[in-house]
Chains A and B, each alone.
Chain A
Amino acid sequence: MDAVLLARIQFAVTVAFHFIFPSITIGLALLIAIAETIRHRTGGEVWDRMSAFWTRLFAVSFVVGVATGIVMEFQFGTNWSRYAKFVGDIFGAPLAAEGVFAFFLESGFLGLLLFGRERVGSRLRTFAAWMVALGSTLSAFWIIVANSWMQTPAGFRIVGDKAVLTDFWAAVFNPSTLPRYLHTVSSSWVMGAFLMTGIAAWFLLHHRHLGVARASLRLGLTVAFIGAALMFVTGDNSARQVANTQQAKFAAMQGLYTTTSGAPLTIWSLPPTQNPADAPEGPAVVVSRMLSFLTYGSFTAPVTGLDQFPQDQWAPIMPTFLAYHNMVLLGTVMLGLMLFGAWYLYRRSIEYHRGWLRLAVLAIPLPMIAIQLGWATAEVGRRPGSSTA
């Protein structure tokens, strides 16, 4: 294997492993902050124990997340030094901002929440929990800024062999930053909420810690349901942004070789091949004209296909298509599961549905798999450029 492929694999391994932990901590931080708020307002003893328990799980994930995240930044220097030189002026700001504004905020207040929870007042403790949530969410923002600039670069000009920042805010709020950030954060909320719901369901199935389990199930399930619905709204927004600014990637995601007016939405099909001549003929589930409607709000709008781009600029179609479609499939399964859960919770019968509780335990990894598939869609679909500049 050549160095480029190995460097790609190494970065992919690093990101995929690291990404497990921030998505858990972003989600859990919100849930802990909500639990602390309820504890502060009601004085509920169970919310106090619940918050302490989830803060310990948060801390374990936070530590591993930090350890794995540092490696990524070093890799820019070791494996990708020409890229680091090319974009150093632009990447430096968001990566530094992530450390100064977000990581220190998160880690400082996490220390207070972990070691000072009995030493500070109730109001300050609640404030600390919200600062941890804010810090973890802001941390994601600056990382997404850097990655979104690689997707849809803005606010720069090329001087010699370097990209030089000309407009900081244009670079920060490049076209894909907000859609991708909102989708990532809502997905992370779902991750944290599925973890909380699944573990609470396990406690209930084993008749353990019922007080904390019930409170965790109520909170986790509510946030998982709302988060899963939000995930679809933000995902739809993000996909439309890709259709408008990264048309070749969008065509690869949809497996659309030819520009089509009234393009159908493929729900399921055999995966497309890199060479259109080898495209499999087989059964497929499609909704006629729906892709045009979802993308542009018109059943007859043309959707740009891969035929508008030179073949050497196509992303690897099969992995992009498979990653995207399986992500959507998992999102649908998660929303369906939480829809039933929310109904059972509303009917106050959830503890009788042991099948659902078992499914909730088994479903803990689903958001993580979906998040990894979403990241693969974004990154594999971006090839062959390391930025589109």
Chain B
Amino acid sequence: MLTAQATSTAVSATDIAISLGLLVAVYAVLGLLWLFLVVREISHGPAPAPAGVVEEETLPLPSAGPLLRPAGGPMAGSGR
């Protein structure tokens, strides 16, 4: 079946153009809403560690391999 023969005969180009415009507008809102929610979740981040549990932030960094160990790591001196 050819695509050109598959469309609805009762729907005009104007109908489709209007609904396309509306869909784009709705999708733009949905897309922005999704982006806002995702950014908000990332900003909040994961829940903090429960009381009594040592945060990994306070533990030393994993050691670098012998070949790629830099003289001073990017977080060297940060106390972490």
Contacts and interface: CB of A to CB of B under 8 A. Distances in A.
Interface of A: 1-4, 6-10, 13-14, 17, 21, 45-46, 49-50, 52-53, 56-57, 60-61, 64, 67-68, 71, 78-83, 86, 199, 202-203, 207-212, 214, 344, 346-349, 351-354, 383-387, 389
Contacts of B33: 64
Nearest to A389: B1
B1 A385 contact: yes
Contacts of A3: 7, 11-13, 16
Interface residues of B, number: 51
Contact of B42 (A52, A199, A210, A349): A199
B34 A64 contact: yes
Given A10-B20, A10-B23, A68-B27, A4 B4 contact: yes
B45 A203 contact: yes
Closest 7 CB pairs of A and B: A211-B56, A347-B65, A83-B6, A53-B46, A349-B64, A81-B8, A386-B3
The DSSP consensus for interface residues of chain B is loop
Interface string B1-37: 1111111111111001101100110010011011001
B2 A385 contact: yes
Contacts of A7: 7-8, 11, 16
A6 B45 contact: no
B25 to A, nearest CB: 11
Residue among B12, B55, B63 with max Cβ neighbours from chain A (10 Å): B55
Given A211-B57, A386-B6, A45 B42 contact: no
A161 B37 CA distance: 47
Given A49-B49, A79-B8, A1 B17 contact: yes
A24 to B, nearest CB: 10
Given A3-B12, A211-B57, A389-B1, A86 B65 contact: no
12 contacts: A1-B17, A53-B45, A57-B38, A57-B42, A64-B34, A71-B23, A81-B8, A81-B9, A83-B6, A211-B49, A348-B63, A389-B1
